[in-house]
Amino acid sequence: MQYFQRDNCVEIINAGEFDPVKTFECGQCFRWNADKNGVYLGVAMKRAAKVWKTGESVFISGTLEDFENIWRDYFDLDRDYGALRKSLNTDEYIKKAADYGAGIRILRQDKWEVLCSFIISQCNNIPRIKKIIESLCERFGEPLYFEDKTLYAFPDAAKIAGLTEKELEPIKSGYRAKYIIEAANAVASGAIDLDMLASGSCDQALRVLKGIEGVGDKVAGCVILFGLNILDAFPVDVWIKRAITANYGEGFNPKIFGKAAGLAQQYMFYYARSNSTA
């Protein structure tokens, strides 16, 4: 990967395996939104940034220092996605899905943010998930001043821990409020150490995360894949369920995808969604 400072941003050249649109729209994150020119504005890791692609270059606003300290890791730029993608060649369907999703990267997001966001996602639609998360950030997150706007960082678990359901009511998360608070309490108190889970196994993390009320297989799987960056996690939601039924049937086991199972899941999700909503 080659990159250099250019005006007020960093340019990554020959970014064939980095497609910002696919990366932001494949269901792993909720706080990156495109303007009418296709430039994404988002908040992550307590920073705001703009990200866009022109030709074969990806541009990320900010300094070289921020790029090297934050965004290089956040966009998982040191992993060889080309090799992982090409390893998904065990059947025609996954080959097609992987080809279609080329450029998707699995973000290394803040672990608590992923846990909280996917608790909110349950039985909810994407616009409303985003709305609830933005509302949570506006009310409890630290303000960030970016260009002419005021944006808000995702609030730390410690900030949410100890809130009452009543205090969380304005964000309209409904019955999920008590799950959010319980998860915040567990993380803030250290009862659950997300950083430690990230260095353990998928099964271990699954067991611990499911100990939180309101966290089942799907939410835990998303936290493991998108937050802990354990790529053999394979969260199954309704889209993936449909894709499995249509292409594999009974007895499907994500282990056929080996170490790239989580990435396979993202390709399947993106492929399934794009081909039914487009």
Partner DNA sequence: GCTCAGGCAGGCT
Partner DNA sequence: AGCCTGCCTGAG
Footprint of DNA (CB under 7 A)? 27-28, 118, 121-128, 169, 172-176, 210, 212-220, 222, 237-239
How far apart, in Å, are the Cα atoms of 160 and each of 190, 197, 271? 14, 21, 36
Select 12 or 206, whichever has its Cβ closest to DNA.
206
Residue 67 or 154: the one with the smaller Cβ distance to DNA is 154
Cβ closer to DNA: 61 or 266?
266
CB of 195 to DNA, least distance (A): 21
Nearer to DNA, 55 or 127 (CB): 127
In the 8-state DSSP scheme, what is residue 26?
A: S
- Please tell me whether residue 61 adopts helix, strand or coil conformation: strand
Separation CA 138–CA 125 (nearest Å): 20
- Residue 165's CB is within 10 A of a number of other CB atoms, namely 12
Shortest CB 227 distance to DNA, Å: 12
Pick the closest to residue 42 from 64, 62, 14, 65 (CA basis).
Answer: 62
Query: Rounded CA gap, 184 and 159, in Å?
Result: 8
In angstroms, give the least distance from the CB of 68 to DNA: 29
